Structure 1
Amino acid sequence: MATSKEFTEDVLDAFGARNVRVRPMFGEYGIYCEDKFVGVICDNTLFLKATEPGESFVPSLDKASPYPGAKEHLVIPVEKFSDAEWMHELLDLTWAALPVPKPKKKP
């Protein structure tokens, strides 16, 4: 099942005014925050990369692979989308724990 446009809009709304964008990727969507890849949306489910600070903040969240062969990510329940403070805190912790993307080489 493919992710609906409405669900991606719900995810963006949940992150509010943060510098978050979604980008089509392999038939689903990648989530970027200030050019760091922080998660994916697959089958109308939000997955954020599992980081030590993020997992410490929400130890009870389920983890799953968004697609076969992927590392496990935190599965964000839709019920949490309306809790802006919670969503922002988890995004900030995840973002801070991820490395800065390597610059792309020019051909």
Structure 2
Amino acid sequence: MATSKEFTKDVLDAYGARNVRVRAMFGEYGLYCEDKFVGVICDNTLLLKVTEQGDSFAPHLEKESPYPGAKEHLVIPVEKFSDAEWMHELLDLTWAALPDRKPKKTLTGETPHD
């Protein structure tokens, strides 16, 4: 089952004014916070990348892979969408624990800022 646009709107609404966006990818959606890839939305389910900090904050959350062969992600229950403080705390912990994006290289092998 594919994710509905209504569900992606619900996810974005749960994060309110945060710099969170979704991007269509492979029939589902990637979730980005300040241009850092933090999770996916698959089959009307929000899945955040597993980090030690996020796992410690919410050890009760189930984990599942968004697709066969993928690493497990934290499954965020829809019931938590209305708890802005909890949603923001988990997102902040996840975002901070993930590495920064590496600059893309151009065809010459240089980064755009070299």
Instruction: Give TM-score, length-normalised by structure 1.
Output: 0.99
Q: Which has the higher contact order (CA 8 A, sep 6+)?
A: 1
SS at match of 2:79: helix
Gaps of 5+ in 1: none
**Runs in 1 of length 4+ with deviation above 6 angstroms?**
none
Find the aligned partners of 1:27 and 1:106 in 2 and give their Cα distance: 28
* Cα distance in structure 1, aligned partners of 2:85 and 2:19: 15
Question: 1: distance between equivalents of 2:70 and 2:12?
Answer: 23
**Distance of 1:6 and 1:57 partners within structure 2:** 28
Inter-partner Cα distance in structure 2 for 1:105 and 1:21: 24
Post-superposition shift, 1:106? 1.3
- State the superposition RMSD in angstroms: 0.4
Bigger Cα Rg: 2
How many aligned residue pairs are there? 107
The answer for the alignment partner of 1:81 in structure 2 is 81
- Cα distance in 2, alignment partners of residues 69 and 9 from structure 1: 27
